[in-house]
Structure 1
Amino acid sequence: MSFAQERLWFVNAAAPESPIYNVPLFFRWRGEVDPGALHRALLAVVEKHEVLRTTYQDRDGERVQVVGEARVAVEVVSHAPDVEARRGFDLATEPPVRCAVWKGQPDGDAVLLTIHHIAVDGWSLPALFDDLGTAYDAEVAGRRPELGELPVQYADFAVWDRAGLDDQLLARRAAELAEVPTGLKLGGARPVPAGFHSGEQHRFTVPAATWEAVGELARRLRATPFVVLLAAWSEVVGRWSARDEFLIGAVTANRTHPAVEDLVGFFVNTVPLRCTTRPPTFAQRCAELRREAFGSMTYQRIPFDQLVARTPGRGLAEVGFALQNMPAPDTARWTAPDVLPTGTAKYDVLLIVEETADGVMGTLELDTELYPAELGPRLAGDFAALLGHAVAEPEAPLAEFALPNGPLERPRPLPVSTVEIDRGDLTEPERRAAELFRAVLAETGVEIAEPARNANFFTLGGHSLLAVGMLARARREHGAVVRPSEFLAEPTVARLGALLRAGTEKSEPAAADDGPRPATSTQQRFWFLDRIPELRAAYLVPTVVHFPSDSGVEELRDAVDTVLARHPSLRSRFHLDHKQKRVVRTTSGPPARATVTDARGWDEGKLSDHVAELCWTPFDLANEAPVRAELVLVATGVRLVLCAHHMVVDGASVRVLLEQVAAVVQRRELPEPVDPAPVGERGDASELIAALEGAPTDVRLPHDRPRVSVQSILGATCTTTFAEAPALRAVAKESGCSTFLATVAVLAVALARRSDQRDFLFAFPWSGREHPDAVGMFVNTLVLRADLRGDPTWREVLDRVRRSASVAYRAADVPFDEVVSALHPQRDLSRPALTPVYVAAEDEWRPPLGGELLPLDPLAVKYELELTVTETPAGLRLTAAYQTDLFDDTTIKSLLADVTDVTTALMTNPDGPACEEKLR
């Protein structure tokens, strides 16, 4: 790998699902797109550019590129582009490019070409899109694309890159940078744990007159626009950090070899540049930075990670800057591509200035775990204002120009001062707002006697973080939900009063405004299962998170209350409408509120019983909110017990809730709540039912005890890890299967080798989630057939499972009950309908705020056997949840050992017979 690729490979290895280095290129087609022609054209482009068909491996400690055959996925989809844009890449097994197409959109067909940054940079796009346009034109004309051959490939550059490392230059530059103080933080920064952080972008326009003046000043000073822009940005950074010397990471093209000028690949490098705010005028700043920027032409060959390695413990580029001035890609067939945001941040703060067809645009990208989101627009405003002033008056002292927004976190005054302001006639909401002003400002040492209607929170000494805390207090004391952005746009007593009035009305919706709506088919099924006493606890979704510190419990409780009140699904009440003979829901009921229990003096038995009661006590779905939360103080910290009914949450929703609790604690703004969409049209079940007909509606599992009349839900888990996950992925990919589907096939074979059954139905979940921040039950239960009849080879089994899954996916909107009614009408309560086996794939996930997920004890399970597959750095984790009334622990361990043995057999001889021999 090149040095640049190796840096991104390490990031991907540490967080395989992170989209932090996705490059999602979204563009509209001028006319209708032919997905088939587009697929063939992309294959031609991928064939030409090796880097687009390269995977990355760690072989005996050496990280290498593996150039493979041309392959690229092109799918016609209906889900939101941002969902597609934020899907991570598995760089070890899949090509670093994929394509999604939206047909029949109001503004014309749309395409999202998502490429991992390891294979592309901004300077690659003209060549990439020129080749794609040429290839597509040829395909629609019925010709074979002729793209020509490249004289060199990216792998050649990687060799030059490694050979060209100048160790003496590296050492000299590291010594120079060691003299500059690091740890650059702008006003209002808060400490956060290490890791990959969420981010937000704020886009703004650089006026044409300002951009023209930038070019004129650059020519007069014998500099470049890059230097002028960096000088302005460094002044803003200097003011917000209260530092007169610091480093800014400049993103450079690093295409220093003529042969790679038009090559697709990842060449860019980060070059730390020394910036000072000592020269008094802007012209002098530019002159000083011109010398530093000229040096960067030499330094851009120094790999950033090698530089960091020579300066351990120092952050060399917390704040970044990039000027995107590459040629625009060809747009004859499509609009200019937009790079969609991925919700992540590569730097603490990054400013990008870009020349586009619509003018010069700025993008301010912010790490929202380190800084509040509203900092982005304020920094952008300061940069635009200072740049406009500086290019107009480059010889004037910069100290005379005041930034319009100013630092977010102002030093708090130590002495207590009093500000006397005429109060005037205030409305009742304004009086509440004035009292909130007084109370929170008093905590900083500022006493306000009588704030007037137009009194400005920031003029009085407040700042944005204090404002966020004030709004949380408004919710606690007045029940008013106010978004920080709404107040910060106009931070006066009058504005807060109006928001308090509106927020109180929003937080207390009247039942008349929320008529009953039909429950989904899944909610209907769960409601009827809740009528069966033995099964009520099976459809609860409890989560227990342990936090190592019990400090800030009240703040955590407030955050939980805020989140629970925001989501309409969590305020649902369910009733049976006897006239319509169906279940309906309303969302006008009051939200649940978290409780706090001090269990620090309890023994382990009492604590376990209390947590179990919180986790498994059924809800009164007609009269109470279908969610509860409690903070339990224990000797080692605090445990958050969150339990909701499956009618209103799925697994992804629980993660959303916990992430949003963390966002409130960290003073980050939450997205607008999303109410699950009304019930849509049901899909056509005919193809699915035809594909499943004839299969047994039971599985011969190795029960240690017989079933009883009503199934038990008491369960336990057993886990094993299969270390050879990359090899399994490779074999599965050859048959067009995911690792999950390969595991389904392996489970079927393991069960077949224990009995004479050769045909299986397994249930598995499918999420219809369209919005990443929505909270609700979006999962439908699908059914997959694993047909092993006729002594198939492993490849034939994988192909059968893949085709069965494709049918199931096409019927993803068919209610599970409709499938059950057609295939298993004589079901009883002794076991689940259609199949006693459930399989699922799950991403590894850690709770925010340093929390740790605790295992549930006791555990309730819905199926007799539930196998969950999780990809982890250590391999494939297989977790079997099982009903303890039917199985002994040793039996499940034995079955998982069979699954591991059978997986090895698959990888060893994929062309051999799958069910050749029996096991045990």
Structure 2
Amino acid sequence: MSGPRRLHATVAPLSFAQERLWFINAAAPESSIYNVPLFFRWRGEVDLGALHRALLAVIEKHEVLRTTYEDRDGERVQVVGEARVTVEVVSHDPDVEARRGFDLATDPPIRCAVWKGRPDGDAVLLTIHHIAVDGSSLAALFGDLGAAYDAEVAGRAPDLGELPVQYADFAVWDRAGLDERLLARRAGDLAKVPTGLKLGGARPVPDGFHSSQQHLFTVPADVQQAVGELARKLRVTPFVVLLAAYAEVIGRWSARDEFLIGAVTANRAHPAVEDLVGFFVNTVPLRCATRRPTFAQRCTELRGEAFGSMTYQRVPFDQLVARAPGRGLVEAGFALQNMPAPDTTRWTAPEVLPTGTAKFDVLLIVDETTGGMTGTLEHDTDLYPVELGRRLAEDFVALLGHAVTAPEAPLAEFELPNGPLERPQPLPVSTVEPEWGELSEPERRAAELFRAVLAETGVVVAEPARNANFFTLGGHSLLAVGMLARARREHGAVVRPSEFLAEPTVARLGALLAAGVVKTEPTTAPEEGPQPATSTQQRFWFLDRIPELRAAYLVPTVVEFPADVGVDELRDAVDVVLARHPALRSRFRLDHKQKRVVRTTSGPPARATVTDARGWDEGKLADHVAELCWTPFDLAVEAPVRAEIVLLATSVRMVLCAHHMVVDGASVRVLLDQIAAVVHGEELPEPVRPEPEGTPVDTSELLAALEGAPTDVWLPHDRPRASVQSILGATRCTDTVDLRAVAKESGCSTFLATAAVLAVTLARRSEQRDFLFAFPWSGREHPDAVGMFVNTLVLRADLRGDPTWREVLARVRQAASVAYRAADVPFDEVVGALHPDRDLSRPALTPVYVAAGDEWRPPLRGELLPLDPVAVKYELELTVTETSGGLRLNAAYQADLFDDDTIEHLLADVTDVAAALVQNPDGPACEEKLS
């Protein structure tokens, strides 16, 4: 791939390296974990005005130093702004200044503090967030600062020259260069190496950012010289020699003979970025083995691993972590820093002050300079004792000194001066032992389904007991649906998800498998005559009669493909797929004799159109896409779906919009997957249509469980409701505290724990203690069916009586079981029983909707684009998504009722309340009030 090119963009995506740092800053803006505090002493007195102007000149040259970071409709972007920086004279301790966090959304990622009048000269602390700088940036940064300061004190305007590219250009190039096949291959290789590295004396790890301790040490000059000589003799680099010694120490302290060490690399893969300030570093996991008897053999073997790993040096570390089960991929890090020192006579060499936070469990940094070799051993003091750093450093220096002077001697003969603080114990694999004796044959099949599906998420279950709970073992609702689809394929038994989720145990699934009726596949014969619409379709048809609500029940999807996608092939594939599914040929009308809505599927299918928009400006394109997304259908005469392929200068955009009467979210994915299959020349499965609705369901248990609950929810409205609710929406997104572990302990899904946290948040901000939330439930029984299979269920969160968090989770879990058992009860029937006097000013029964999402990318190298504008059905729609990095909350809300700041404040409160749950699940849930 050619290198980055100058785009002159003021808004750009984040690089892969930056994205992880942005997430951490968004979750905890006050954290200093990725501060880079550069402390140096002036040789004389600082001219504050000249320093300020010089810094502005440097920031003007390097755009990354004047960049802020935003979340725009779920997309992280960097925004290049004007040059600005504070230069403040202070008197407090430099460590205090070094540990002050940045708000990357509003503040420049650089600030300057000056201490005047010190006996040894003025001192300066330049604190930069790591998202804008790395170690390899310092020579360019301080070189430019020195030149600009010299010019300013001489009365000249600084002339720092122009850069061939800026960091935003690198970020675009970086993201375009991701090779999915290379990523998958590397992830597969690393998955063979056990993770979970623990050194002697490990303690349990709390959630959140961890405190660190740094131990500084010096490598004797003769040892440094011997390292270079041995490297030349073995035809390896000093990096390999130092890493081999470090790996031997780690191996002995962990009692492991194979593990991964994360090598921190400069990752400046193109000459255009060599003199650019920015954050380029990547962590490359290296397989380290301690099976070879001599140090020379270890170095030779590690040379091959290091050389092979260079193939993957541009594979983003976080992308590898996303595919690794468990807490992380590497626990131990290593970095060799041999960058040229910033050259100036005006100040001393900058010293990087500690920030007190740990990035790895243990990290060794070796600095190789003309003045000698020094080291920093940083470790997590929430995990290991404070003295670990000193003892590890002493062991490293001792072993390195021995190894480079006797590289052919067996390493086992050398004893470390310290050794582990405590003898490491083998780490047991998390298993679940049988509790209820022998399983029946259906229960054994159920247990095997549990094991197989959970293994896909990295959870190892030896043999689940009869009473083992799917959620407690680490499952979630979407995984359960996949497991039941697998049960249908492998055992021919149809199990309704609602029946299993009401009691998600091995015993219950075994009973359902035993009772499951083996059914033939749903009929594929095309419908011709009028058929009764489903209860959900009837409700949507009547809502379509209300002009203000018509667009709310459209399901638009916008996908951007690369410019080289075959447009003709894509259009033909869309036409094939839209014509195959009976639901997409539906027409709806009111049968006055039957007094109900009926549908036919004999009408002509929709066909894709192609529009050449290569000469359009952004405003015209946005208006056109919005019209395609939100123009209502004439359900009596039009096919309830439309598709258009829009040709752009650098890409191809497809807009697919269908009415909710004929598709749900899963159906859209089926359609996109089948379009891709046709493009690739693959055969499609026979189209299916849903079976008729079943017999009426007993509602007595559900209505009894919901009796007495209020049919409205307090929300922090900025404006009053109108007589007819608006559907104009907006969205906000944030990462939140990971609730999965505490949910699992309580037998809850992540979705239910999130609903509980939302209820507690609203209770802490109001006097309300009893809530009803709407949530979606899919009755889909066939994975390839296209239709509207989702019913709306009602979840009660009863917080009366000052319950503890565990009591709240138990109540919500019980309420969900009741809802799942009544999953076939039409939502309108529940509304009619509980909220007969509803009006159009707000949604029926509750204004709050809660859902679970998952990460998904469309085929054909497509990218989902955010919708703008967006339509909402509820006043607040909160979706929790399990991502590779944790949990993400997305709030869609009525823009006529709420200001953006109000929702951001609410999401921040939800995150704070989630943290309270994680920190003390046995504490009171609603005791503390929120402002």
Q: Give the TM-score, by structure 1 length.
A: 0.47
Question: TM-score, normalising length from structure 2?
Answer: 0.46
